Chains A and B, each alone.
With several copies, the nearest count.
Chain A
């Protein structure tokens, strides 16, 4: 019983938030707002899923925001120049994957600390995006493919927004990988004890490349969603998103030191952040106070969920 509560503390924070909002705002508990929150959460959720992989192996991926920006810019440009939507998506995802793999290579073969490696690529790619966009937004144009592309961000299928489907598919895939595939097992093993994992004959380099590749891929997917929703790619898109993603992962109970955590937790963490942003707007909290509230909720949530083991 105590165990159940311990395991579900993130869920409890989520519930507290929802119940409080139910009292504080009439517009909160409506189907429409529910969909709005889900759609807004989807971008952070997709990025946070990749971040969960990285954090599970004891790493981190700070470059996600920059990957989102460069991939979004390239997608917008491709669509605007009349490239087919499917092809555009494939190219963009491939680019994200490739960047992620480079991160993975720097960290595995290059033996760099993940924080600093991805800090480097984050800075570098932000520069690339500025150079590529020349500091201006790139519109997707008005072509037929552009309209279709826009649906990825704002379309509906059976009354549910498209990004919500994407988010759910990403969650399920990640859950399956972590729970039921060999790679998932290796991710946990690597995060718990790297040396023992090597001694067990597992190619840890491959696991790292997989993890950062996945994170890059998912960041580019998020880039596609953002660009599709806005119909344009901004040069400063995604900056600071890494912090939201990390917050979602940690609020979901995943340990920054690796080896412990789950996708379900991350889903809850992303929802907490999404609902919080929504709530601050619905409650018309003045801008200056929004950061105060956000910081306080993050601290409250993690204090509730603190682990038995001492952190440093």
Chain B
């Protein structure tokens, strides 16, 4: 066996009386990559936050190189050679890329003045290593979520830590970015760095990890070398049962065209035109930064259109705000749930009913609480949202469960057109399947779906047609039958099929 660089023993964590980690053991081996797997809410992020001093553990011991270690904050863990890339982005939007990478460790001259030249030169080095060509002086607010994710990774790498923890680093990355990241990870491994890798994408685990630790409901299920498991076995360990087919696409009846976009143009999107039929799923693929999100948000009334028309049932509609969109039967599940998908400070029930609160209100705006309880219970059940109840604050749910609340909230508005922007980002395999089943269910009920996704297998598995974007333009629309990974990729990079 390899040398253990970190040993966590009997880690228990309670949040206001609720045990989320129970006697968990966890190891990190020198020069190896440990995968940490488990369903949403299994406790993966919490375990890593305990290791890096973000949370205090309730019980248990931590050893670094066989020495007892306990870090009171991120700074201490950094000083001891542990870097972490958190699941949720933690960048300062109003600072530049370079400033973010070196935040807290700015190079200074003898008088304490920041050495800007060096700072930007070094940043450039780190981001270009990850294939990011952005100017390091650019404000983080002005780059897309995917690029922000890369900046976050660059920041962790620049710490030059012995141990690097990556909590779902590829959530916002496309395939080529992910490949780039993997090559960096391999290089680091060759240099004897150790890593923890958390991801819900099992194929990634098989590609780069050496060992796997599986958590389920806060308990450690086991630790195995990658070479000794199959994907099915892993899934069974994670969810405690076998899962059937990955993409259960339902063949529903596809009806007439109910939605049409003509020549939609603004600062993000040029001359976008497409149609959507009743009961159809239209996948939208494209590289990071291809403005898929912006297209969706323009339709949803967040961004203004400079030109173009939108028709629903052949009738032209004017959408100037999300409210108009919802009224027209369109809802949007955001890719960025923390900032605009859900209200973290409100409870599960209140979030689910927010968009369509009117439907459970009396004439004078009185909210019927019993009705609210009833419908939110229903959604919690249907979407298997892991929560202690409707009154649980959403901020205390795990990332994947927050995503489900975000979807529930949009479903409650009973849309005829549902836009899903990266709906399974950060969602575990079991929950993913549930989301796919839900998509099918609504499809069958005649809802039309637009699904933006960076996972091409998911696009291929779930959509009837695939729309591919490249730099703000629609570079092609394919029937799924004719589409394959290569075809989509070549459209995405701007080459014709």
Enumerate chain A interface residues (CB-CB to B < 8 A): 3, 180-183, 185-186, 188-189, 191-193, 195-203, 259-260
From known contacts A197-B343, A202-B103, A259-B345, infer whether A192 and B357 are also in contact, taking CB-CB under 8 Å.
no
Q: Which stretch (B212-220, B322-330, B425-433) binds chain A?
A: B322-330
Q: Are B90 and A192 in contact (CB under 8 A)?
A: no
Q: Which residue of B86, B322, B367 contacts A201 across the interface (Cβ within 8 Å)? A: B322
Q: Are A193 and B103 in contact (CB under 8 A)?
A: no
Q: Which residue of A181, A182, A193, A200 contacts B93 across the interface (Cβ within 8 Å)? A: A193
Interfacial chain B residues near A197, Cβ < 8 Å: 92, 103, 343, 354
Q: In chain B, what residue has the closest Cβ to A203?
A: B323
| Interface of A: prevailing SS | helix
Q: In chain A, what residue has the closest Cβ to B339?
A: A195
Q: Are B73 and A182 in contact (CB under 8 A)?
A: no
Q: Are A193 and B90 in contact (CB under 8 A)?
A: yes
For the complex, what is the distance from the CA of A193 to the CA of B351, rounded to whole Å? 11
Q: Are B114 and A180 in contact (CB under 8 A)?
A: yes
- Mark interface residues in B168-207 (1 if CB within 8 Å of A CB, else 0): 0000000000000000000000000000000000000000
Q: Are B103 and A189 in contact (CB under 8 A)?
A: yes
Q: Are B104 and A201 in contact (CB under 8 A)?
A: yes
Q: Are B323 and A260 in contact (CB under 8 A)?
A: no
Q: Are A192 and B345 in contact (CB under 8 A)?
A: yes
Say yes or no: is B99 at the interface (Cβ < 8 Å to chain A): yes
Interfacial chain B residues near A181, Cβ < 8 Å: 112-114, 364-367
Q: Pull 5 A–B residue pairs with CB atoms less than 8 Å apart, ordered by A.
A: A182-B112, A182-B367, A196-B339, A199-B86, A200-B90
- Mark interface residues in B71-110 (1 if CB within 8 Å of A CB, else 0): 0011100100000001001111111000100011010100
Q: Are A201 and B92 in contact (CB under 8 A)?
A: no
For the complex, what is the distance from the CA of A193 to the CA of B139, rounded to whole Å? 14
Say yes or no: is B361 at the interface (Cβ < 8 Å to chain A): yes
Q: Which residue of A3, A182, A196 contacts B342 across the interface (Cβ within 8 Å)? A: A196
For the complex, what is the distance from the CA of A260 to the CA of B346, rounded to whole Å? 9
Shortest distance in angstroms between A208's beta carbon and chain B's nearest beta carbon? 15
From known contacts A192-B343, A201-B104, A203-B323, infer whether A185 and B94 are also in contact, taking CB-CB under 8 Å.
no
For the complex, what is the distance from the CA of A199 to the CA of B89, rounded to whole Å? 11
Q: Are A192 and B346 in contact (CB under 8 A)?
A: yes
Say yes or no: is B273 at the interface (Cβ < 8 Å to chain A): no
Interfacial chain A residues near B361, Cβ < 8 Å: 182
Q: Which residue of B94, B108, B323, B334 contacts A192 across the interface (Cβ within 8 Å)? A: B94
Q: Are B343 and A196 in contact (CB under 8 A)?
A: yes
With a 10 A CB-CB cut-off, give which of A180, A195, A196, A203 has the most chain B CB atoms.
Answer: A196
From known contacts A181-B366, A182-B357, infer whether A188 and B322 are also in contact, taking CB-CB under 8 Å.
no
Interfacial chain B residues near A202, Cβ < 8 Å: 75, 103-104, 323, 354
Shortest distance in angstroms between A226's beta carbon and chain B's nearest beta carbon? 31
For the complex, what is the distance from the CA of A180 to the CA of B112, rounded to whole Å? 8
- Beyond A182-B357, A198-B322, 18 additional contacts (C-beta under 8 Å) are A180-B367, A181-B367, A182-B366, A192-B93, A193-B93, A195-B340, A196-B340, A199-B54, A199-B90, A199-B332, A200-B155, A201-B73, A201-B104, A201-B323, A202-B104, A203-B75, A259-B92, A260-B94
Q: Are A201 and B355 in contact (CB under 8 A)?
A: yes
From known contacts A181-B366, A189-B346, infer whether A198 and B93 are also in contact, taking CB-CB under 8 Å.
no
Q: Which residue of B86, B91, B323, B332 contacts A193 across the interface (Cβ within 8 Å)? A: B91
Q: Which residue of B113, B326, B354 contacts A189 across the interface (Cβ within 8 Å)? A: B354
Q: Are A185 and B112 in contact (CB under 8 A)?
A: no
Shortest distance in angstroms between A55's beta carbon and chain B's nearest beta carbon? 14
Cβ-closest 5 pairs across A and B = A201-B75, A192-B345, A196-B90, A201-B326, A201-B323
Say yes or no: is B423 at the interface (Cβ < 8 Å to chain A): no
